[in-house]
Amino acid sequence: MDFAAVLLEWYEKNGRELPWRKSGHPYEIWLSEVILQQTRMEQGLDYFERFLEAFPTVEALAAASQEQVLRQWQGLGYYSRARNLHKSAQQVVSERGGRLPGSSKEWLRLKGVGSYTAAAIASMAFNEDLPALDGNVYRVLARVFAIEHSIDSAAGKRHFEELATNLLPRGRAGAFNQAMMDFGSLVCRPVHPLCVQCMIQPMCEAFARDRVHDYPRRKGKKQPVDRYFYYFLFYWEEPPGAKQFFVQERDKKGIWQHMFDLPLMESSVKISDETVFTHADWRFVFGLEGWRQEQQPVDLKHLLTHRRIHARFYPVRVSGQARRALHQRYQQTSREDFHELPKSRLLERFISRLWS
Ligand code: SF4
């Protein structure tokens, strides 16, 4: 039995119908690849359609402001992907007159495009003979061939790449890579693989050894680091009933760079409410007249790949001196305007919890 032939036969009958597959346009394939990294297909599809409607061409994406791009991306997480996509679109327009790269080597010159994305686009759009190895592909190969190399080691990665290159049917790289992706997410799934109805089963080493869940091998997962965020919602009503509050644009490097945030204090350890309110950084407001804590703080947890954020939000009503002092440092927004600003899912959860 030939692995590639069986897989392609399965794909012809069961492959997913996706908009970028129908069009085969490199811009759409590029968008889909960036959006779908670390994102479930159902959620990604929705974002893809909205993103393409907002920025139908690479020129439209390049001409948009970063704020507009982040706004469309909001909720997907991993915001550096959106920033890189935007910068790359500008690079394509300024350096290549809007002509998209035509080979994996050219794609690799764009910011944020790594070997997986370059191979995926070049194989799908131009049928370049390259394997595209993502988590699905590593898992399928590791199980079918019972590979003991760990997928998070350099030697392991080389081994998988060599194997995938050898399996790749020349001239059919696009279909093969997409078949691997679909097979990995629909059949050889991470937690509940459908081994009983799997066409590959007769040649699957992991199944034969009853060790499906032992693959893929990993050296060891890093535990996420705990971070403690103490947020202040400094708000008032003007006119009565219309909530106004202060926000700031994050300039600090990191996942939420250039997104809007509430004034906050970050810590690597848990600290008491009293310590937060008497901290020297906040004396410019809590040392003045005109603030009142009318509501209990709200606690929310937010999990990122490498961080576990324990967020505590303090709603503080402000007026007079305190409000004037805050005006010097922060930007005023209303609930309606805030809705239009790019912001983290954490912040969105808090505001809707408090004022829904
Ligand atoms: S038999 Fe199970 S583990 Fe093996 S390829 Fe099929 S679904 Fe994956």
pLDDT, tens digit (0-9, with 9 covering 90-100), for 313-333: 999 999 999 999 999 999 999
Span from the CA of 244 to the centroid of ligand 1 (angstroms): 55
For the chain, the straight-line distance linking the first and the last C-alpha, in angstroms and rounded, comes to: 58
Please provide the average confidence, as pLDDT, over all residues in the chain. Answer: 92
Any atom of ligand 1 within 6 Å of the Cβ of 118: no
Q: Which tokens is 152 given?
A: 């998070």
Ligand 1 atom with the shortest distance to the CA of 143: 3
- Cα 157 to Cα 260: distance, rounded to the nearest angstrom: 38
pLDDT of res. 136: 92
Mutate to test the pocket of ligand 1, among 204, 213, 214, 215 (most ligand atoms within 8 A of CB): 204
pLDDT band with cut points at 50, 70 and 90 for residue 121: very high
11-15, 16-20, 261-265, 337-341: least confidently modelled range: 337-341
Ligand 1 atom with the shortest distance to the CA of 198: 6
Ligand 1 atom with the shortest distance to the CA of 194: 7
Mean pLDDT over residues 121-125, rounded?
A: 96
Q: Closest Cα to atom 2, ligand 1: which residue?
A: 195
Mean pLDDT over residues 268-295, rounded?
A: 92
Give residue 197's region: left, alpha or beta (phi > 0; psi -120 to 50).
alpha
- Cα 85 to Cα 151: distance, rounded to the nearest angstrom: 27
Mutate to test the pocket of ligand 1, among 136, 180, 187, 196 (most ligand atoms within 8 A of CB): 187
Annotated active-site residue in 9, 17, 28, 33: 33
pLDDT of res. 222: 67
pLDDT of res. 221: 64
Any atom of ligand 1 within 6 Å of the Cβ of 216: no
- Cα 18 to Cα 32: distance, rounded to the nearest angstrom: 10
Span from the CA of 87 to the centroid of ligand 1 (angstroms): 40
Span from the CA of 129 to the centroid of ligand 1 (angstroms): 25
Span from the CA of 158 to the centroid of ligand 1 (angstroms): 22
Ligand 1 atom with the shortest distance to the CA of 195: 2
Span from the CA of 33 to the centroid of ligand 1 (angstroms): 25
Any atom of ligand 1 within 6 Å of the Cβ of 144: yes
246-255, 291-300, 335-344: least confidently modelled range: 246-255
Please compute Rg for the chain using Cα positions. 25
Ligand 1 atom with the shortest distance to the CA of 139: 8
- Whether 207 and 195 have beta carbons less than 8 Å apart is answered as yes
**Residue 155 class from Cβ within 10 Å (0-12 exposed, 13-18 middle, 19+ buried)?**
exposed
Element containing residue 302 per DSSP (H, E): strand 298-303
Does residue 17 have an active-site annotation? no
CB contact set of 70 (below 8 Å; sequence gap of 6+): 79, 82, 83, 258, 259, 342
Any atom of ligand 1 within 6 Å of the Cβ of 206: yes
Any atom of ligand 1 within 6 Å of the Cβ of 188: yes
- Whether 151 and 142 have beta carbons less than 8 Å apart is answered as yes
pLDDT of res. 355: 83
Identify the DSSP state of 211.
-
pLDDT of res. 282: 94
pLDDT of res. 224: 79
Any atom of ligand 1 within 6 Å of the Cβ of 145: no
pLDDT band with cut points at 50, 70 and 90 for residue 79: confident
Domain with CATH 1.10.340.30 in the chain: 3-214
Cis peptide before 216 (omega within 30 of 0): yes
- Cα 34 to Cα 14: distance, rounded to the nearest angstrom: 24
pLDDT of res. 309: 92
Residue listed under structure tokens 């393409």: 52
Q: Which residue in 272, 266, 246 sits closest to 338, CA to CA?
A: 246
CATH match of 225-355 with 3.90.850.10: no
pLDDT band with cut points at 50, 70 and 90 for residue 21: very high
pLDDT of res. 317: 96
For 136-174, the pLDDT digits (tens) are: 999 999 999 999 999 988 899 999 999 999 999 999 999
* DSSP codes joined into one string, 305-348: SSEEEEEEEEEEEE-HHHHHHHHHHSEEEEHHHHHHS-B-HHHH
pLDDT of res. 305: 73
- Whether 169 and 4 have beta carbons less than 8 Å apart is answered as yes
For 193-223, the pLDDT digits (tens) are: 999 999 999 999 999 998 999 899 988 766 6
Span from the CA of 142 to the centroid of ligand 1 (angstroms): 10
Highest average pLDDT, of 71-75, 175-179, 212-216, comes from 175-179
Span from the CA of 168 to the centroid of ligand 1 (angstroms): 19
Q: Closest Cα to atom 4, ligand 1: which residue?
A: 204
Domain with CATH 3.90.79.10 in the chain: 225-355
**CATH entry, 3-214, from 1.10.3210.10, 1.10.3720.10, 1.10.340.30, 2.40.10.10:** 1.10.340.30
The beta strands (E) that lie in 179-297 are given as: 225-237, 243-249, 260-261, 264-267, 291-292
Any atom of ligand 1 within 6 Å of the Cβ of 200: yes
Mean pLDDT over residues 62-67, rounded?
A: 95
Mean pLDDT over residues 258-283, rounded?
A: 91
pLDDT of res. 115: 93
Mutate to test the pocket of ligand 1, among 201, 213, 214 (most ligand atoms within 8 A of CB): 201
